[in-house]
Amino acid sequence: MILGAAQAVLADPALRDDGANWPAFGRGFDEQRYSPLNQIDKRTIGRLGLAWSLELNDVWNVSTQPVAVDGVLYFAAGFSVIHAVNAVTGELLWKYDPKVRGRKMRMAWGSRGMTYYDGKVYAGTQDGRLFALDAKTGALVWETLTTEADDNRYITGAPRAFNGKIIIGHGGADFGHVRGYVTAYDANTGAQLWRWYVVPGNPADGFENAAMAMAAKTWTGEWWKYGGGGTVWNAITYDPEFNRVYLGTGNGSPWNHKLRSPGGGDNLFLCSVVALDADTGEYVWHYQTTPGESWDYNSSMDMVLATIAIDGAPRKVILHAPKNGFFYVIDRETGKLISAEKIGKVTWAERIDLATGRPVEIRGARYENGEALIWPGSGGVHNWHPMAYSPDTGLTYIPVREMAGYYNDEGRDPKTWQMTPNDVLGLRGFFDDIPKTAGTSALLAWNPVTQKAAWRVPTPGATNGGVLVTRGGLVFQGQADGRFIARDADTGAELWSYDMGVGTQAPPATYAVDGRQYVTILAGWAGAPMLLGSLSAQHGWVGRAYPRRVLTFALDGHAQLPPSPPPSTTVEKVDDPSFIVDPALAERGKHVYKDCVICHGTAVVAGGYAPDLRASHVPLSASAFAAIVRDGALENRGMPAFPELSDQDLEALRHYIRERARYEPSFAAQLGALWNYLRLLVKMQLARWGLI
């Protein structure tokens, strides 16, 4: 095999058919996550076994889909620590640590993907850098800062490669004062080639192009003071047939449309699919999935390119399942909507009007009366966990979920509201326990031609991994309960499973070396499930004792997985009876804790790798707590410093943590929660009928 094979895969779609390499996020330009390999199929799946495993003891987040090129496996773990491993033996060849440190560590959990191109591997970092490494040695070739050092932008998504270019977006809209953009760089030198902003800036400064001038007509008020949002934090797809790049754009900043754009308006190009000329970055067309969005309904979910039969004729389309709960089929030449149907529980809109392309919203969904309970919530029916499309079955395989969202903007007047660190979303914060039954998930096989489900199989919990599908007729997915599953692509029947020793949300990849097919997945509980607290802890992955590992499978593999602790749903809380909780301090600490929830979990109920603070001795000691939280004593282990916190803030945090450690929900509290839930359901129905 030659090193240039992966370059050919990315340069010429016709050469992708052998499937030996998996060089990019989604494998090829179409991002179908479909492999033509069929050595492992429905007939041989019973022989699939572990070929090798690798323990990752010095990293925490493992959400990356690996890439595989010419017998070498590349993946990012933790804060974009790149590993190169022999794909046959699991031997670590080299490792590169970009040494992410500082404030931006607070904003997410690390990398979800990377790419290979022309002898180099490319990845982004949490602190906003994009870098290229020599694929053979791991030596740094070039590095550039794609964001500002002191802004709220960060990178977790995978860069994409095409035509000698690398393109990357960023996240950060949820942290305020962020205007989204994507940037294309020279793949060999890192020189910036073009940049395209997603939303318009201050009109007084002029607009970068005609697209921004057009978009500004759909905004009102002084949106630029808040940033606007629209970050391209995940989905970017290159189309070699039209030489275009499609962007899946994100939510508004703030989320609350009433505050962001008080006079109304669609707010282009939020929550849209946008087509750009790949050479120049010039705007070509757009389709907006959620005009004037107000719920964090990102369109940053993957966009799959396919050719399917519409009314008996082949059409080149984009298949897209954003957060808002609809599955869209879009003509990728013109941007015209072909069809759209619900793929889960959706109560914010009745349907998509095919004549206008716009959703038909229900009354009350925009929390016109101050609050709303709707499906889906901000987690979406489909989130970033990648779907896959099989040209063999004609089905799209989507990890879906059902979870409601509560929206409340009480006390926020558009005439006086100002974005502050405590109110970047323009909505009331959520601090309470999340019921373990609040979210469910499934693997859905969806027919994009008929816009109907072929099958739907329940999966454990509310968050499961991305998927791949093969010519062998198999769909592979890692689950929250720790099982790696292979299903029949036609029926959804479970054909094979393996206990990984820990849950995962990372998508798998498959490739071949010397004619032998392998399947690799990263396993380890971290990332977004940590925020969900009790929803994640139900699976038992509640501490650092559980592994982070790479598992690779092949036919007739007989390797043994190292032992790992059994799941545990109990937390051994620690306490000091002499610590008297001050209710006023605990209430203040609840609001300080908002900056901790992303890792330590809602209501101090941990849901992953970060310690459960109710079971930690550290908050019992004021000096130890200050050394870690404010002074950054454990920054090198992934715990960022919070130097802005005062002694009073730290003390309030300690009281809130103690309060939560001693909290036991009473029957009255549970009854009250049920009553509030029923009240909201009734209120939404009355709003829908126009009675309030």
Half-sphere exposure of 373 (CA within 13 A, CB side): 14
Beta strands at 244-248 and 272-277: parallel, antiparallel or unpaired: antiparallel
Alpha helices in 195-266 (DSSP H): 210-216, 257-260
- Tokens at residue 161, please? 């490669």
Q: What angle do CA 604, 77, 38 make, to 5 degrees?
A: 115
Q: Is 104 helix (H, G, I), strand (E, B) or coil?
A: helix
Q: How far is CA 416 from the centre of its chain?
A: 33
Cα torsion angle, 160, 166, 172, 173, sign: negative
* 307, 295 Cβ separation under 8 angstroms: no
Q: Is 125 exposed, middle or buried (0-12, 13-18, 19+ CB in 10 A)?
A: buried
Q: The tokens of 468 are what?
A: 């791949």
- Contact predicate 257/366, CB 8 Å: yes
Q: Which amino acid is at 285?
A: W
Q: Is 522:64 a contact under the CB 8 Å cutoff?
A: yes
What tokens does 40 get? 């492992």
- How many Å apart are CA 288 and CA 357, to the nearest integer? 8
* DSSP structure string for 73-91: EEEEETTTEEEEEETTT--
- Burial class (CB within 10 angstroms; exposed 0-12, middle 13-18, buried 19+) of 14: exposed
Active site residue 266: no
In angstroms, the CA 462 to CA 378 distance is 13
By residue count, the chain amounts to 692
Residues 259/265/271/272 CA torsion (nearest 10 deg): -160
Distances in Å between the Cα of 50 and the Cα atoms of 21, 76, 520, 555, 566 are 20, 21, 10, 8, 20
Tokens of 103: 């404030």
Kindly state the tokens that stand for 343: 């793929």
Tally of CB atoms within 10 A around 206: 9
Do 521 and 401 meet the contact criterion of CB atoms below 8 Å apart? no
Q: Which one of the listed residues 70, 296, 409, 595 is annotated catalytic? A: 296
- Placement of tokens 């410093």 in the chain: 641
C-alpha 298/C-alpha 585 separation (Å) is 36
Pair 158, 25: CB distance under 8 Å = yes
Question: What residues act catalytically?
Answer: 296
